Structure 1
């Protein structure tokens, strides 16, 4: 006859365990045998569920029925001690989280109260995963470091890992965040504001990396529209006072100023503000494969922003991780994007990023040649 342990593991029923537990609680051999035999009968007759928890509850009830209240109370105390021993390690971990920095994830600032709360929840859920959810063999392998479940607690909630996010489709079709339908993002300032909100919220609903692919393509249309709106604005304001080239120059300077300021703000935010996963989003952006004027404009300013550095001290930004798509056809000598490739090399030499990803070779090269799709890392479709 098999019973279910607290961990969910099955084991053979052993009546002697009940006898010994009642004896330790002060029960005589006669009382212990009587109660243990009755529990065995109940199990055989399917009167109680075959689990450790239900067996212990029924032991207490039978002791009380047989007018052994003191023994029942003592048995309950014995159970409480055993439960205390089982939970002592978990409580100790909670205490360590409250008093010591946790360096398991460099993206999480373990000195913040919100992060401490999250770490305690993670510890509780990890314990639940290892005792009740994962098959015993897998849980033991994780505990013994024979294998490792990355972000174990997050698996409990059924969330996904490493999302390759279709940011353009989401923003162009008005995202809904916490029940609020966003208005049309018809300027670069509004568009990047929505992008930042969506990034922080969407990255909170998964764990691991979060990738915006071909951000030069994501932003090129809205930049062009902002430029056209700026031309209309300056024409209305200045009329015939200046020529058309001056109008275009003013519009271009406005769009570039606005984009630089907003992108610098996003980069600062991504290195300082945590999402609801208690971490700065592990964000990757990829670009460099598009050749339109506005796509190249996006790539140039993102690289120049990274070169400048983040914040007042011009520190090297960690996020977003930036990836430069390379194709010899457009980035090699005389190619239309050769200037951007040279700028990317300069940025790499000073600020660690971008990483370079070939669309001529390897798996990503195969995808590009077969489908015409530039596939960024740290995200899955």
Structure 2
């Protein structure tokens, strides 16, 4: 049992702090749920944990009282969840500002991901039913290409979110900066001079299968073709085998 669960066991604030007239919280999906102050305490407890602190019993009581007072001032029978978040946040600012910041940052973080997934969904619909012309080498009529393009759109959003500064993002939007192949930069490399000689020497394993070092020129060509197909598909941009004539020379002599 973790710290947050222990806090729940210690005291249920919903039994102590109750409104005279029950109200419902209108959630984002349209469903309604009875307002319980203990859920506020639990959510704020997680925010405090992320801020590496915790609320004292006195601070929890002040939070409960402040939230309920603000709710009663509204005289609503239903409160949208966004409004409830604002009430909790403003009360937290008075009780413990550091936790209020953690609570606010987490809300913004979730909202960013909602927006991100919404953008990806819109782009995926466009790819599925209209196609994509950004890359002339990718045939967006193929199912495999559609899947790749949709995944790339998500990767692009994640790269922008976690790797780019606010100044870089703004420069991209204003047209001053262009990040080439942004969708592929998170998990692979660009433009490779592949050391195929080192791979061939002594044999190698690929696709859970062991390949012996070629003994003839014909076999070397075939094996190099397999290697290039496999390795090139794991990256984006140019893929080059430099000085291939020098690599093939010993296999030509063996032939």
- TM-score normalised by L of structure 2: 0.59
User: What's the secondary structure of 2:102's corresponding residue?
Assistant: coil
Aligned to 2:97: 44
Structure 1: tracts of 5 or more residues without a match: 1-18, 58-78, 227-381
Deviation at 1:176, TM superposition (A): 1.9
Aligned to 1:106: 136
Deviation at 1:163, TM superposition (A): 0.8
Aligned to 2:13: none
Counterpart-to-counterpart distance in 2, 1:127 and 1:218 = 41
Q: Deviations over 1:318-337 (max 9, x none)?
A: xxxxxxxxxxxxxxxxxxxx
Aligned to 1:135: 165
Counterpart-to-counterpart distance in 2, 1:25 and 1:217 = 81
Counterpart-to-counterpart distance in 2, 1:208 and 1:161 = 5
Structure 2: tracts of 5 or more residues without a match: 1-69
Deviation at 1:122, TM superposition (A): 0.4
- TM-score normalised by L of structure 1: 0.41
Q: Deviations over 1:114-144 (max 9, x none)?
A: 1110100000111122233311111222233
Is the contact between residue 89 and residue 100 of structure 2 (CA under 8 Å) also seen in structure 1? no
Counterpart-to-counterpart distance in 2, 1:33 and 1:49 = 14
Is the contact between residue 186 and residue 225 of structure 1 (CA under 8 Å) also seen in structure 2? yes
Does 1:120 find its partner at 2:150?
yes
User: What's the secondary structure of 2:178's corresponding residue?
Assistant: coil
Aligned to 1:221: 250
User: What's the secondary structure of 1:123's corresponding residue?
Assistant: helix
Give matches, 1:1-381, under 5 Å.
Answer: 27=79, 35-46=88-99, 49-54=102-107, 87-157=117-187, 159-226=188-255
Counterpart-to-counterpart distance in 2, 1:126 and 1:137 = 17
Q: Residues 136, 43 of structure 1: CA spacing in aligned structure 2 closer, same or farther, 3 A cutoff?
A: farther
Q: Considering only CA atoms, is the larger Rg found in Structure 1 or Structure 2? A: 1
Is the contact between residue 92 and residue 99 of structure 2 (CA under 8 Å) also seen in structure 1? no
Is the contact between residue 194 and residue 240 of structure 2 (CA under 8 Å) also seen in structure 1? yes
Q: Residues 187, 42 of structure 1: CA spacing in aligned structure 2 closer, same or farther, 3 A cutoff?
A: farther
User: What's the secondary structure of 1:162's corresponding residue?
Assistant: strand
Counterpart-to-counterpart distance in 1, 2:236 and 2:92 = 46
Q: Deviations over 1:70-123 (max 9, x none)?
A: xxxxxxxxx8xx986664443221111112332322322222111110100000
